[in-house]
Amino acid sequence: MNISDLLGAMMQSGMTPSSTDRMRNSLGGGSVLDSLAGMLGGSSGGGLGEALSSMLGGGGQGGGLLGNVLSEAGRAVGGHQNLALGGLGALVGALLGGGGKSMGGALGGGVMALLGAMAFQALKGSGERKPQVPLGLLEPQTEAERNELEQHSELILKAMINAAKADGQIDEGEMRRIVGKLHEVGVDSEAQHYVMTQMQKPMETEKLIAAAQGRPELAAQMYGASLLAIEVDTPAEKRYLDQLAAGLGLDPKVAQRIQGLVGLQPV
């Protein structure tokens, strides 16, 4: 079972009605996405990754995370060619209406790249050390880095499922809806069982918090992923996010920056 594929399928299936809009906001909004689509006549996938690379190589500013943030991250890692622009391109393509059953893995990489860009942006100027470019946004170069990215992807997936339990246990109807959509996009029975098992577990907030101790970039990614997973429209969800941010050691200003990136008012 490939966790990156499963993460992509979960996002493709829709954790919450607002997930797509929040990812669009994080990427700079509809005008930025439409501009990228126009560069390629509306095509999607890897071609959009090439468009991102061309834009950055020419010093262009795409707005939002597609402009200054990616340019700065690219400089920090020796060039934008070391960033996961292909994954971001796949994510942009999916948000523009492209992709199908085969998009899971590419989308998983795109979600991790998006969360990495959000974390990098939010941690800048936080008064702590200069943020590192997180794995996910940084294209893994070695087997060890690929394995670490897979581990981070699993923590992100668990954080999203954990957040979905914030206002009460996920009921059987919601479980069937999610697993049914996973089946529709081609997720195998092993991965479906994994998701069902995770949804049936008690909340494991403290365990997730412990996994991110001393790793502010991962902590910020987990918080951002949680914002993509729930509507944040109940007092229980708001309390959960406060508890999560505090436990992860995120400065309140960092948490607010992440909320702003996805288009949420401070919770």
When the pLDDT of each residue in the chain is averaged and rounded to a whole number, the result is: 84
Q: How far, in Å, CA of 234 to CA of 243, rounded?
A: 14
**Contact assessment for residue 208 and residue 122, using Cβ atoms and an 8 Å cutoff:** no
Count the neighbouring beta carbons within 10 Å of the beta carbon of residue 234: 13
- pLDDT confidence bin for 63, thresholds 50/70/90: very low
Count the neighbouring beta carbons within 10 Å of the beta carbon of residue 236: 12
CA angle, residues 22, 23, 24, in degrees to nearest 5: 90
- pLDDT confidence bin for 58, thresholds 50/70/90: very low
Residue 221 has pLDDT above 90, yes or no: yes
- pLDDT confidence bin for 103, thresholds 50/70/90: low
R_g of the chain computed on alpha carbons: 17
pLDDT, average across residues 147-165: 95
Q: How far, in Å, CA of 226 to CA of 125, rounded?
A: 23
Residue 61 has pLDDT above 60, yes or no: no
Provide the token pair at 161.
């499922």
Residue 52 has pLDDT above 70, yes or no: no
Report the pLDDT value the prediction gives residue 40, as an integer from 0 to 100. 47
Report the pLDDT value the prediction gives residue 107, as an integer from 0 to 100. 81
Q: What is the pTM of this model?
A: 0.89
